[in-house]
Structure 1
Amino acid sequence: MKIRTSSFQRLVASLALVVCVTLQASAADDAKVLSALLIDGQNNHKWQETTPLIKQTLEASGRFKVDVVTSPAKGGDMSTFAPKFAGYDVIVSNYNGQPWSESTQKAFEDYVAGGGGFCSVHAADNSFPKWSAYNRMIGLGGWGGRNESDGPYVRWKEDLQKFTRDNSPGSGGTHGKRVPFVVVVRDVEHPITKGLPGSFMQTADELYGKLRGPAENMQVLATGFSAKESGGTGEHEPLLMCIQYGKGRVFHTTLGHDVNAMKGLAFQVTLQRGTEWAATGDVTLPAVDAETLTADEPAVRDPATLSESAAGNDVSWDTIPDIDGKGWVSLFNGSDTKGWTQKNGTATYRVEKGAVVGKTSEGSPNSFLCTDQTFGDFELTFQTNVDTGLNSGVQIRSLSTKDYKNGRVHGPQVEIEAAPGEAGYVYSEGTGRGWITKEQPIKDAYQNNSWNRFVVRAVGDRIQTWVNGTKIADFSDAESSKEGFIGLQVHGIAKGTGPFEVRWKDIRVRELN
């Protein structure tokens, strides 16, 4: 855990908060775990990096199970993007891109107006300037050509001790340099802010200014002063808002520009509380004192460490996962590849005798059979048997997006290779980083020409691997995505070589929440 405060007492307070937050589900009379759908896929911000942090932050509270849905890349066919909103307690948007289809917009409007929860994070309020209902949901938005025709500026006026609405002409959306700033609570009785200090600092972030919109049924919970010295407006701008839309509740936070901003405790605490309120109309998460949410300097913690804490009761880092224990789910039904999709390459995949068999194709780049589902923190096990002469692997937390090398599969790969070889070590497929595990002393754990049992644990930054019960790797990897699919690789081969085959069976995962 990384926490930067001004005293040992604050460190202790922050540690206590993590423990309290991660045990909240049981502390609040076994409160229901809420289902959240997190939307990403297009954003002028680095959503591939921030989505995992949003997911980790929410799930670490003990109140949420988060699913992620990714839109087509920019220029893609948006008619295929039709998330099933119904059934989720809250929708969280990390999206800023092309308009959704009319049918998807209508489904979203019906979901929120009918009583669903919605949370807009940072640049999500830049989205959809022409979508009237969306702008009423978020209250205020920026950029996208917004101006006085879209609604007023809303600011806190210190001399008047109240909020004012400014309808003067002007564009919507601006920010100065990224600097730390004080979050000032303007409504101390709202469930989201009740129990928080009256003011506390957010780490270096974009402080949005000149947002404008309908501002209907909107309550501003907290503001930040946008200092002219850092390129700001000189106004007290809204940071945290709640909006009533039909029967639904919306929480709008402008915090959270990037990875560093999302490490701010101010962002994490208010995101957790605001999302719970949007989902339920109440907040059961514990109060946070001024020794933790500090006003003199920003408190910081890595959301990845929260994931480790949240899974702490299930994880014993000193032992191999119990593959015969409870909670394991099969990813392969033994008869077909339902739930999997091939990406890249022309290798073939078939099912034979209860195993997936991948066969090489001469001259083809690497091929991957990938789960349609994505995973964050989990334990994985599978058996594999690879022909001598071929190396293969299993991708974990991997991605394939049109805007990255035209869909090139990339991410951590657990190596499969006949002995002596690198079986169990981890390679960064498709990124140019090469081996993540630089030290590779064990070369003979894999047994040639037979089935081999692999076990993998991935929680936050930390990844562990075992081959046939021998621990191979145990390391931290801050650079890779913390959320992605699992993929079965068939390595490319040169013309005039092969063919080779690799087999997998008993592919199971246990998610850690």
Structure 2
Amino acid sequence: MKNIKNAVITCFAFINLVAFAQSNPDKIEVLIIDGFSNHDWKQTTLMVTSILEKTGLFNVSVSTAPSQPEDATWDTWNPAFENYAVVIQNTNNIDMKNTKWPKRVEERLENYVASSGGLYVLHSANNAFPHWDAYNDMIGLGWRSPAEGVALQVADNGKIKEIPVGEGKGTYHGPRNDEIIQILNNHPINEGFPKTWKTPDMELYKYARGPAKNLKVLSYATEMETNINWPVEWVVAYGKGRVYNSSMGHLWRGETYPVSYRCVGFQTTLIRATEWLATGKTTYKVPENFPTETDIKLVAVD
């Protein structure tokens, strides 16, 4: 445990140094938006930054939003989305509904993505902002009530089954499990992946809901109690831009670099999804120690 704590402290120091470093024009510029969530958003930002930057493909910056609605710094919080190839959304107001981005920032993100920007919706970020119609269109599916959109299931023949608005349940998940990810549609993100692979300690969202427009499901997992197949990853076309959304990447309060973030499969997916959002392709190679259907593969804390 002492080594893990030291690793996290080292990671904090590393990211602070990165904030002052000059950008490398040969790298993909990535901006993480954080500041409030019911999850451990600070450590999530640290882990995502470390995973991405160790590849040498990315420069990662962070813009931390105020967390309280009455905070005066909302007036000056204005992230420059246009300076980045990818924005990673790591805020979630599900337990603090009065905390919202200013309308002007919402509109700037909409314009950024529609004009060919890349948006990564990181785990619980799809719980956020049900009031924001364009955000619902961008994320495709999120943590929503039955009245707030359709839900999707994957039939055993690979066809998508749509559950209409008002039917079925609102979004929920059961206990975290080791889930077998099953590829549904081939895509640059999962090119070279095994058809099925196992990831640890994941929340499988059931009845994720939304407009589901211009959406392609990349993978799914099977709820063992019911044998229902629920989407795990999906991509959305929004204007000229690209959006990636997934329930992978859970990091709860009190955890320290959990196995879900040490999973080689999750890390590879995070890296390749971010690269695809920026360029429309992937160059990061699938590691030889990528998970299989039966074997989870973890990497040690640096």
Q: TM-score range by the shorter chain?
A: 0.7 to 0.9
Q: Secondary structure at the match of 1:275?
A: helix
In the alignment, structure 1 residue 51 sits paired with structure 2 residue 49: no
Aligned to 1:35: 29
Matches of 2:141 and 2:134, distance apart in 1: 12
Q: Conserved in 1, the CA contact under 8 Å of 2:121 and 2:139?
A: yes
Aligned to 2:141: 140
**Higher relative contact order, chain-length normalized (CA < 8 Å, sep 6+):** 2
- Summarize the alignment of residues 79-118 of structure 1 with structure 2, pairs less than 5 Å apart: 79-97=75-93, 98-118=99-119
2:213 to 216, 232, 236: 216
TM-superposed deviation, 1:42: 0.4
Could you say which structure has the larger radius of gyration? 1
TM-superposed deviation, 1:170: 4.0
Aligned residues: 265
In the alignment, structure 1 residue 239 sits paired with structure 2 residue 232: yes
Matches of 1:76 and 1:59, distance apart in 2: 34
Matches of 1:263 and 1:87, distance apart in 2: 30
- Summarize the alignment of residues 148-159 of structure 1 with structure 2, pairs less than 5 Å apart: 148-158=146-156
Q: Conserved in 2, the CA contact under 8 Å of 1:31 and 1:63?
A: no
Matches of 1:292 and 1:301, distance apart in 2: 10
Q: Conserved in 2, the CA contact under 8 Å of 1:195 and 1:288?
A: no
TM-superposed deviation, 1:32: 3.2
Aligned to 2:121: 120
- Summarize the alignment of residues 158-169 of structure 1 with structure 2, pairs less than 5 Å apart: 158=156, 160-167=157-164, 168-169=166-167
Matches of 2:246 and 2:53, distance apart in 1: 18
In the alignment, structure 1 residue 182 sits paired with structure 2 residue 180: yes
Please report the RMSD computed on the Cα atoms of aligned residues, expressed in angstroms. 1.8
Q: Secondary structure at the match of 2:220?
A: strand
- Summarize the alignment of residues 353-432 of structure 1 with structure 2, pairs less than 5 Å apart: none
Q: Conserved in 2, the CA contact under 8 Å of 1:141 and 1:172?
A: no
**CA deviation map 1:273-331 (0-9, x unaligned):** 11111111111111345x522221311124x52xxxxxxxxxxxxxxxxxxxxxxxxxx
TM-superposed deviation, 1:31: 9.8
Structure 2, unmatched stretches of 5+, are 1-23, 94-98, 252-256
Matches of 2:159 and 2:154, distance apart in 1: 6
Aligned to 1:257: 250
Q: Conserved in 1, the CA contact under 8 Å of 2:206 and 2:230?
A: yes
Q: Conserved in 2, the CA contact under 8 Å of 1:196 and 1:288?
A: no
Q: Conserved in 1, the CA contact under 8 Å of 2:119 and 2:243?
A: yes
Q: Conserved in 2, the CA contact under 8 Å of 1:203 and 1:300?
A: no
Matches of 2:199 and 2:67, distance apart in 1: 31
1:198 to 195, 198, 203: 195
Greater share of strand:
1
Matches of 2:70 and 2:180, distance apart in 1: 40
Q: Conserved in 1, the CA contact under 8 Å of 2:265 and 2:290?
A: no
**CA deviation map 1:392-448 (0-9, x unaligned):** xxxxxxxxxxxxxxxxxxxxxxxxxxxxxxxxxxxxxxxxxxxxxxxxxxxxxxxxx
2:204 to 204, 207, 211: 207
Matches of 2:66 and 2:117, distance apart in 1: 24
TM-superposed deviation, 1:76: 4.4
Matches of 1:109 and 1:218, distance apart in 2: 17
Aligned to 1:284: 283
Q: Secondary structure at the match of 1:36?
A: strand
Give identity over the alignment, percent: 35
Aligned to 1:488: none
TM-score normalised to the size of structure 2?
0.83
Matches of 2:216 and 2:237, distance apart in 1: 9
TM-score normalised to the size of structure 1?
0.50
**CA deviation map 1:329-375 (0-9, x unaligned):** xxxxxxxxxxxxxxxxxxxxxxxxxxxxxxxxxxxxxxxxxxxxxxx
Aligned to 2:293: 295
Matches of 2:42 and 2:63, distance apart in 1: 12
Aligned to 1:268: 267
In structure 2, the CA distance between the partners of 1:31 and 1:107, relative to structure 1 (3 Å rule), is closer
Matches of 1:263 and 1:206, distance apart in 2: 15
Q: Conserved in 2, the CA contact under 8 Å of 1:93 and 1:121?
A: yes
